Structure 1
Amino acid sequence: MAFDGIVTHAVAHELNETIAGGRITKVRQPTKQDMTLTIRAGRVNHTLLLSVNSQFARVHLTEDSYEQPAEPPMFCMMLRKHLDGAFLRRVEQAGMERMLTLVIDGRNDLGDPAEKHVHIEIMGKHANILLVDPSENRILDAIKHLPPSVNSFRTILPGQPYIGPPAQDKLNPLTVAKDDILRKLDANQGRIDRQLVHNFSGISPLVAGEITHRAGLGRIERTAETFLDMMQEIQAHTYNPCIAENDGKEYFSAVLLTRYGKDAADAESISRLLDKFYSGKAERDRVKQRAHDLERLLKNEWEKNERKITKLEETQKQAEATKEAQKYGELLTAHMHLIQQGMTEVEVMDYYDEESPYIKIALDEAKTPSENAQSYFSKYTKAKNSERYTAEQIEATKAESAYLERLLQQLDAASPEDVAEIREELEEEGYVKQKTAKKKRKKQKAPVLDAYESSEGIQLFVGKNNKQNEYLSMRYARQSDTWLHTKDIPGSHVLIRAEDFSEETLQEAAVLAAYFSKARESSSVPVDYTLIRHVRKPKGAKPGFVTYDNQKTIFVTPDSAEIQQLKNNTKKENETS
């Protein structure tokens, strides 16, 4: 990935073309690192995402929706005070750096016009969003505070003067001439692409590699000409947003990555491309942050259960071996006349064996013959009871391990909203301590199911955690609905909300079941389907666990593009209605 100066330039141009002059109607902060501004421009509401996520820092228009916290953070409240109802005059980029400024026309407490600046610094782990009063060059607040003890060059605290990041003393690639480029490049000083990154602002290693690839091997003059050709396209705002893959890694850029075989743009705008590239990745990162402790807990519990099963199976083998004690007790009883107290062993005929061989049986010299026989009978009884107990424990522990494995799979496919339901379930099951003593609970709301729509317009529903699965299968479904689940693989419950449907709809529902399962990365995944009336929950079973019969099996291969299309079908239906 490369959110470089060129991508930033493309974003700034798109924002000026799309939302400049628009009115800010909503200011929200869904996470500690993300802000969204709803801006109404051209009679359309646009959502502008500002993210300072250390791995996914970015700015672009988005179509994704974000869950809002119950109480907005202080920085969000400060932005609302100064930006709510204000107008976005323009978006400025600092040279070709990864820094944007939203120039806002608002009003102060007295109702007089007051300009405010929102600086977005898109710089990896140093990314930040700052609200600044330009009349005094004073910081009003920032999403990340940096005291002098952390950063001696610039203090980022309310009331402090705004100082930009340290200058890198690089040339602006949009204003240089061919001679400027030639003076900075030296064929004898190593790789040309690294020299481009070192000398020109906004040029990432990805773009530098693309320039040298287009120039080919040869004279430095050819590299300079290729560089200028690309910069002329950028100056003319001729962008070709694309996503390319190489060695299992994905890259995006505002220019065509011909070195990776790209010959056409993948999106009509840079924001659509960034939305496509970051959407799932950023959500997975948010889930990882929220669910890190749960994932560690579940893995520890699962590993503990696996060790317990191993020990129980060893105990079971020992109990199996001790079953010989019954035979020894009966042989001693039959040969009691041969035994005297004080003997350490006795040789008797084993009439349980067809060949009736003589075997030696160990004795306790302190016990009478009768007590020795009784001792072997006691060992047998103990082994028999132990075998029954360990068998029950193994079955229960394996069931719990399967339950934990289902939860781990659900966390892997969970949205941030799903994590809260999984955490609540673990509290109810006693795996996680409740942080505070809960008051008398209000009537719980029904879980929100993940909705999709098949190609023929039939509703498909997916339960992405045990609470949703149980609600979908035991309460929401109608008797005539069709239920799907991966065969012998942890995964989601899927419902076809119709009595009559085509083979294509069945195939699409099966793809959903395979995709939201542990077999997401596999091919030819077996998916069982049956009418919901054949699905039952055993008494006392863990949440989300069911049994079913009268099923048929279909084999499908999960496809993320098909999943997105099924989700898009739902969005189109909502827009139409």
Structure 2
Amino acid sequence: MAFDGFFTHAVVHELDQTLATGRVAKVNQPYPAELIMTIRAHRHNYSLLLSANPTYPRMQITQIAYQNPAVPSNFAMTMRKYLEGAILESIEQVDNDRIIKMNFKTRDELGDQQRLVLVIEIMARHSNVSLVNEKNHKIIDTIKHVGSDQNRVRLLLPGATFVMPPKQDKVNPYLPNQIYTDLVRKDLDENELAKQLQARYQGLGRQSAQELARELQASSDLPTTYHTFLKQFENPDPVIYDDNNGKRQFAAFLPSNIKEEQLTHYDTLSVMLDAFYAQKAERDRSKELAGQVLKVLHNELKKDRRKVKKLKQQLEDAAKADYYRIRGEILTTYLGKLTAGMTEITLPNFYDDNKPLKIKLDPELSPSRNAQKYFTKYDKLKTSVDYVKEQLKLANDEINYLANIESQIDLASPADIQEIRLELQQQGYIKQKRQKSKKRRKVRVSKPEEFHTSNGTTVLVGKNNLQNDRLSFKIANKNDIWLHVKDIPGSHVIIRDSDPDEQTLLEAAQLAAYFSKGRNSDNVPVDYLPAKRLHKPNGAKPGFVTFTGQKTLYVTPHKLKN
């Protein structure tokens, strides 16, 4: 069941019962399109998620912890100014549409009472969250600003008059009507009846329409069946199930064509939505946050690879330095045969059985200066070799470093992305915003991810380079076993055991292979050794270590359970 008007009705009913009369304690915006409001109601704190994410828009109470950015957005600051301390009077749905109103009572700067409305529109890429003054209908701010160049019908900008989205020519199913009776009498098949119901009723998604059509066709009492269907959304039995095509779905109640063993029940709609969206939304948030980071990485990698190509060409040219030395020596030997103004001369090459060798000359230079020109070119190429090799090594090291970060992003959580961004700021790849306050907020590096092998041994995995450094040199004991894929980018992995058995070592190696660029390979080499043999050279980039005395396992990547 999609997040259609009926499911929105169920969510609004649940949230209104839980949160109405509550007070807003905190407002945060952990991600660009998502707002978290902490509401104190009935002696409990509830984290209400308002998401205008184009892929996963929704409204729910969430129990998932979020990491807030170091500097709050302008929208978050505005929401705090107007809503912190406000009383939530009610939550209501606009008709049977995917539009929700949260009605607040608060006081303005002069202490006068004012009423504010937070309008949540759950409409895919057009989703938005807008704070509106109820008295004059002026927009205070929106989570997404929509100008006249994007939408000529509605202007969603601070100061503009708030206008509801255009209404569809459909009937609110909760108002008295006989449409369903007339359609059933036409003796349509289930799919056609579902399409006709969807075309006439407001907020009826495809899956809800099919369920209603199925129940109406099997009924002998149409009004009772219709009203029972509507009431189910006010007394839901939330489930997640796999449909007949194997696709994972959620619903406010058990669909009639799904077997009990194909589903999982949940206590509330919010708990169910947390379970359904946890991984999907997390990946989407990571992708969203990683946008600028990936752009920086791709630009730097492109620049470095172009530089490597140029340096290799210089090495190839340097390898031909003898070409200039030989010509310089031959000219010096036969200097008496050269005369001013010559453009070329053919002389015997005593390095190749005195075969004739044609040598180009500069007519404006003297014979001795022509010979010296070849020696100068030779010396320049020979002395450039060491420098070019050094620059080539630096460029390749940087490519490996950036490729490692690129592979970390593939499996990164939003918190990991923020730490990767911090690392790139520290390394000078991303410019840091100047903070007005003199005090800089100290960013704490999050803990490495923890896993357990089949015998219960703890295995720790660094998800980014800052975590890797902390794990290898701060957290790990000197006799703990350290693992890393051989010669390719990957995470640092620590077995919390100085003498693990073969199975534990194998499982940890599989985990190291999974958190690496080789995760899609069948046979990945993984080095392992005691952590005390690790060494970090002075000035080395985050995550870089050297070591000796390692052993190597070949494994197939596999992720353990947390």
Question: TM-score w.r.t. structure 2 length?
Answer: 0.77
2: distance between equivalents of 1:148 and 1:317?
56
Aligned to 2:120: 120
Equivalent position SS for 1:490: coil
Q: Assess, with a 3 A threshold, how the Cα gap between structure 1 residues 472 and 11 changes in structure 2: closer, same or farther.
A: same
2: distance between equivalents of 1:541 and 1:38?
43
- Number of equivalent positions: 545
Q: How does 1:118-517 map to 2 (within 5 A)?
A: 119-129=119-129, 141=140, 143-144=142-143, 164-173=164-173, 178-182=180-184, 194-208=195-209, 232=228, 235-236=231-232, 237=235, 239=237, 241-242=239-240, 252-254=250-252, 264-268=262-266, 269-330=268-329, 336=334, 339-341=337-339, 344-348=344-348, 350=350, 356=353, 358-362=355-359, 364=361, 374-436=372-434, 447-454=445-452, 458-501=457-500, 505-506=504-505, 509-510=508-509, 512-517=511-516
Which one-letter code corresponds to 1:127 in the other structure?
S
2: distance between equivalents of 1:230 and 1:439?
61
Q: Please tell me the root mean square deviation across aligned C-alpha atoms, in Å.
A: 4.9
Aligned to 1:48: 48
Cα shift at 1:309: 1.4
Q: How does 1:552-567 map to 2 (within 5 A)?
A: 552-559=552-559, 562=560, 565-566=561-562
Match of 1:73 among 61, 66, 77: 77
Equivalent position SS for 2:380: helix
Q: Assess, with a 3 A threshold, how the Cα gap between structure 1 residues 280 and 77 changes in structure 2: closer, same or farther.
A: farther
Cα shift at 1:82: 1.2
Bigger Cα displacement from structure 2, 5-14 vs 169-178: 169-178
Could you tell me whether the CA contact under 8 Å between 1:519 and 1:525 is conserved in 2? Answer: yes
Report Cα offsets for 1:152-183 as digits up to 9, x if no partner: 87787899997654432323456765423347
Aligned to 1:572: none
2: distance between equivalents of 1:317 and 1:223?
83
Bigger Cα displacement from structure 2, 156-165 vs 407-416: 156-165
Which one-letter code corresponds to 1:305 in the other structure?
D
Cα shift at 1:316: 2.1
Which one-letter code corresponds to 2:205 in the other structure?
S
Which one-letter code corresponds to 1:77 in the other structure?
K
1: distance between equivalents of 2:38 and 2:389?
60
1: distance between equivalents of 2:520 and 2:230?
39
Could you tell me whether the CA contact under 8 Å between 2:25 and 2:39 is conserved in 1? Answer: yes
Question: TM-score w.r.t. structure 1 length?
Answer: 0.75
Equivalent position SS for 1:538: coil
Cα shift at 1:264: 1.9
Task: Note the residue ranges of structure 1 that are not aligned, 5 or more in a row.
Answer: 567-577
Q: Assess, with a 3 A threshold, how the Cα gap between structure 1 residues 329 and 245 changes in structure 2: closer, same or farther.
A: farther
Aligned to 2:540: 541
Q: How does 1:520-539 map to 2 (within 5 A)?
A: 520=519, 524-539=523-538
Report Cα offsets for 1:503-522 as digits up to 9, x if no partner: 56545544553444334555
Cα shift at 1:28: 1.9
Q: Assess, with a 3 A threshold, how the Cα gap between structure 1 residues 538 and 327 changes in structure 2: closer, same or farther.
A: same
Could you tell me whether the CA contact under 8 Å between 1:527 and 1:556 is conserved in 2? Answer: no
Cα shift at 1:430: 3.1
2: distance between equivalents of 1:545 and 1:410?
14
Report Cα offsets for 1:16-74 as digits up to 9, x if no partner: 67x25684463322245433344566876443212223333201221211223555512
Could you tell me whether the CA contact under 8 Å between 2:404 and 2:489 is conserved in 1? Answer: yes
2: distance between equivalents of 1:537 and 1:525?
24
2: distance between equivalents of 1:179 and 1:339?
113
1: distance between equivalents of 2:514 and 2:318?
44
Could you tell me whether the CA contact under 8 Å between 2:240 and 2:276 is conserved in 1? Answer: no
Which one-letter code corresponds to 2:380 in the other structure?
K
2: distance between equivalents of 1:157 and 1:362?
75
Bigger Cα displacement from structure 2, 309-318 vs 410-419: 410-419
Report Cα offsets for 1:187-208 as digits up to 9, x if no partner: 8xx9765544322222224555
Bigger Cα displacement from structure 2, 60-69 vs 361-370: 361-370
Equivalent position SS for 2:36: strand
Cα shift at 1:493: 1.9
2: distance between equivalents of 1:245 and 1:401?
45
Equivalent position SS for 1:68: coil
Which one-letter code corresponds to 1:74 in the other structure?
T
Q: Assess, with a 3 A threshold, how the Cα gap between structure 1 residues 533 and 176 changes in structure 2: closer, same or farther.
A: farther
Report Cα offsets for 1:225-273 as digits up to 9, x if no partner: 9999798456334546336599998765546689999962245253334
Bigger Cα displacement from structure 2, 455-464 vs 222-231: 222-231
Task: Note the residue ranges of structure 2 that are not aligned, 5 or more in a row.
Answer: none
Q: Assess, with a 3 A threshold, how the Cα gap between structure 1 residues 524 and 104 changes in structure 2: closer, same or farther.
A: farther
Aligned to 1:569: none
Bigger Cα displacement from structure 2, 254-263 vs 62-71: 254-263
Equivalent position SS for 2:325: helix
Aligned to 1:574: none
